[in-house]
Amino acid sequence: MLRIAARALAFAFILGAGAAAQAGELHVDDPWARASLGQVPNSAAYMILHNEGAEDDRLLRAEAEVAAAVELHTHVMEGDVARMRRVEAVELPAGESVALAPGGLHVMLIGLEAPLEAGETFPLTLVFERAGALEVTVEVRAAGRERQGHSHGHSHGHGDEDDDHDHGEGHGHGHSHGQQ
Ligand SMILES: [Cu+2]
């Protein structure tokens, strides 16, 4: 029943402006995921976690039905190459905000059941050490939309002018994602 209530709540967030969710002192802003590219079966979800409490917390894991496995990852530089590495937990110090963002910490979605298409949403459950489980609604966004990805000047050349969703930002689609 709790799960159903959470889904109803998540639905309400879809209707509202900007998805946000709260569990105790834990506040989650703007959860989104990158649309999957072609046949690549993986993607990643990002968000901002605010620990507004007086106690430290930790994000222990995440669960999503859209993927066969969900892991917490970060990026580490090995020479000039950014590689993903699994982390045991994401530390959330009291009173601080932690961003999961392209090029850094992320929720890795491995083995997608179906491609993630821009505009879709899906539920993601975050499990915190203190705050417990919190379901958020993740919005899928086009791969080129984030501003923090690597910029290699890729040109997709597939009719940006006809695409209302893509404001000519056909670059910077975090090449390292979902390919390993
Ligand atoms: Cu990853």
Tens-digit pLDDT profile for residues 95-109: 999 999 999 999 999
Cα dihedral 33, 134, 63, 138 in deg (nearest 10): -20
Q: Which residue has the tokens 């670059």?
A: 171
This prediction's pTM: 0.70
Q: How far is the CA of 18 from the centre of ligand 1 (A)?
A: 25
| pLDDT tens-place string over residues 151-176 | 443 434 343 334 344 333 333 334 44
Q: How far is the CA of 73 from the centre of ligand 1 (A)?
A: 5
Q: How far is the CA of 87 from the centre of ligand 1 (A)?
A: 10
Q: How far is the CA of 161 from the centre of ligand 1 (A)?
A: 31
Q: How far is the CA of 1 from the centre of ligand 1 (A)?
A: 32
pLDDT at 25 over 80: yes
| pLDDT tens-place string over residues 73-87 | 999 999 999 899 999
Q: How far is the CA of 131 from the centre of ligand 1 (A)?
A: 24
Quote the DSSP letter at residue 165. Answer: T
User: How high is the mean pLDDT of the chain?
Assistant: 79
pLDDT of residue 20: 79
pLDDT of residue 56: 96
Compute the distance between CA of residue 35 and CA of residue 152 in angstroms, rounded to an integer: 19
Compute the distance between CA of residue 112 and CA of residue 81 in angstroms, rounded to an integer: 25
Q: How far is the CA of 133 from the centre of ligand 1 (A)?
A: 21
Q: How far is the CA of 105 from the centre of ligand 1 (A)?
A: 8
| pLDDT tens-place string over residues 48-69 | 999 999 999 999 999 999 999 9
